[in-house]
């Protein structure tokens, strides 16, 4: 199965990447049918463990959205397990050095390109019986820039072969720059860092992505040049819609 978002991104298009924090295959299925091009199962800050993620990948398989996972940490064993479970791409937090990026990419690639161990049990059910010869090309590798070191080493990180793109974590990046955490930062130092990361990533021919907290914010990021954006996670969307509905009834 071709990775349609990788093709779209390679062709210069931008994609919408939904985000899941609720450990539910039903929520995953609903988000997968929402028009998102990809949906990320967040095992870092979402309330999700491996057993829940498995059912969520199965649910996403019944939708047009490409299933991605964010791992809690740059750990090869966890990355490989999620790929075996059918993730077609990994978003890895806290990439701060080119060594971090190389280790991350290596976990997503079979030898001789990397050190991914062989056993793509559900990967083959999702990707097809020809999974193995195509996996290295189809699996998307996205490293998160959200530390001062990541910012300092940005060009070296972007030079790592096999790294497809960058996702900015605006909350952690704000903290790293001495500001309060925010998904939509307004302090000039963070605004400038975000624009810089977007510009350098595009200059290296890689995919600039960023976590956002709403559709409106994500649309502004696309206009800024980002090509992989998130309209908030499903828990946030649920909370906002529920609040709006209740306040319509109560008139406050
Ligand atoms: C951040 O804002 O730091 C993130 O990782 C977004 O999920
Ligand atoms: Mg973060």
pLDDT(118) > 90: yes
CA of 167 to the centre of ligand 1 (A): 9
Residues 218-240 pLDDT 10s: 999 999 999 999 999 999 999 99
Of all protein residues, whose CA lies closest to atom 4 belonging to ligand 1?
169
**80-100 average pLDDT score:** 98
The CA dihedral of 219, 223, 225, 228, to the nearest 10 degrees, is 20
Residue 65: name the closest of 46, 96, 88, 95 by CA.
88
Q: Per-residue confidence at 7, pLDDT binned at 50, 70, 90? A: very high
21: helix, strand or coil: coil
Is-contact 153 183, C-beta < 8 A? no
Buried b (16+ CB within 10 A) or exposed e, 93-104: bbbbbbebbbbb
Using 50, 70 and 90 to split pLDDT, how confident is the model at 121? Answer: very high
With a cut of 90, say whether residue 140 has pLDDT above it.
Answer: yes
Q: Assess whether pLDDT exceeds 90 at residue 128.
A: yes
Active-site residue list: 45
Give the mean pLDDT of 44-66: 98
Whole-number pLDDT of residue 38: 98
Ligand 1 pocket mutation pick from 20, 91, 144 by most atoms within 8 angstroms of CB: 144
pLDDT of residue 102: 98
Question: What number is the average pLDDT over the span 93-113?
Answer: 98
Ligand 1: atom nearest CA of 175 is 3
Q: Token pair of 66, please?
A: 């490409």
- Which of ligand 1's atoms lies nearest the C-alpha of 173? 3
C-alpha 141 to ligand 1 mean position (Å): 17
**171, 179, 193: which to mutate for ligand 1, most atoms within 8 A of CB?**
171
What distance lies between CA 125 and its chain's CA centroid? 22
Ligand 1 binding residues, C-beta < 6 A? 45, 93, 146, 169-172, 211
Output the CA 168–ligand 2 centroid distance in Å.
Answer: 8
Q: What pLDDT does 36 receive?
A: 98
Domains detected in the chain: 4-250 (3.20.20.60)
* Nearest Cα residue to 77 out of 106, 100, 99, 98: 106
pLDDT at 110: 98
Taking residues 37-46, what's their average pLDDT?
98
Chain segment 176-220, per-residue pLDDT in tens:
999 999 999 999 999 999 999 999 999 999 999 999 999 999 999
DSSP E strands: which ranges in 140-200? 140-145, 165-168
Atom 1 (ligand 1) nearest CA: 169
Dump pLDDT digits (tens) for 203-215: 999 999 999 999 9
Nearest residue (CA) to ligand 1, atom 5: 169
Specify the pLDDT at position 47.
Answer: 98
Residue nearest (by alpha carbon) to ligand 1 atom 6: 169
Q: What is the average per-residue pLDDT within 141-152?
A: 98
Output the pLDDT for position 43. Answer: 98
Cα(128) to centroid(ligand 2), Å? 33
Confidence category of residue 252, pLDDT binned at 50, 70, 90? confident
What distance in angstroms lies between residue 169's CA and the mean position of ligand 2's atoms?
4
Look at residue 245 and tell me whether its pLDDT is greater than 90: yes
Q: Can you tell me the mean pLDDT for 65-84?
A: 98
């Amino acid at each position: 199965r071709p990775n349609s978002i990788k093709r779209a991104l390679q062709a210069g298009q931008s994609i919408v990447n939904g985000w899941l924090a609720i450990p539910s295959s039903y929520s995953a299925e609903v988000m997968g049918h929402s028009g998102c091009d990809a949906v990320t199962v967040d095992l870092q800050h979402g309330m999700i463990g491996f057993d829940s993620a498995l059912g969520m990948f199965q649910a996403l398989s019944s939708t047009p959205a490409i299933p991605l996972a964010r791992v809690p940490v740059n750990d090869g064993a966890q990355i490989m397990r999620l790929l075996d479970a059918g993730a077609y791409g990994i978003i890895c937090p806290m990439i701060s050095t080119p060594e971090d990026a190389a280790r991350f990419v290596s976990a997503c690639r079979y030898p001789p390109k990397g050190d991914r161990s062989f056993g793509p049990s559900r990967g083959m059910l999702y990707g097809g019986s020809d999974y193995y010869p195509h996996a290295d090309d189809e699996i998307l590798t996205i490293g998160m820039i959200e530390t001062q070191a990541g910012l300092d080493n940005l060009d070296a990180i972007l030079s790592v072969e096999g790294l497809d793109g960058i996702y900015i974590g605006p909350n952690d990046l704000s903290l790293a720059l001495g500001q309060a955490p925010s998904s939509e930062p307004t302090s000039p130092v963070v605004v400038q860092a975000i624009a810089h990361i977007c510009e350098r990533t595009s200059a290296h021919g890689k995919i600039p992505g960023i976590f956002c907290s709403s559709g409106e914010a994500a649309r502004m990021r696309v206009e800024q040049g980002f090509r992989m954006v998130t309209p908030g996670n499903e828990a946030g969307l649920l909370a906002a819609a529920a609040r709006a509905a209740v306040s319509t009834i109560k008139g406050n």
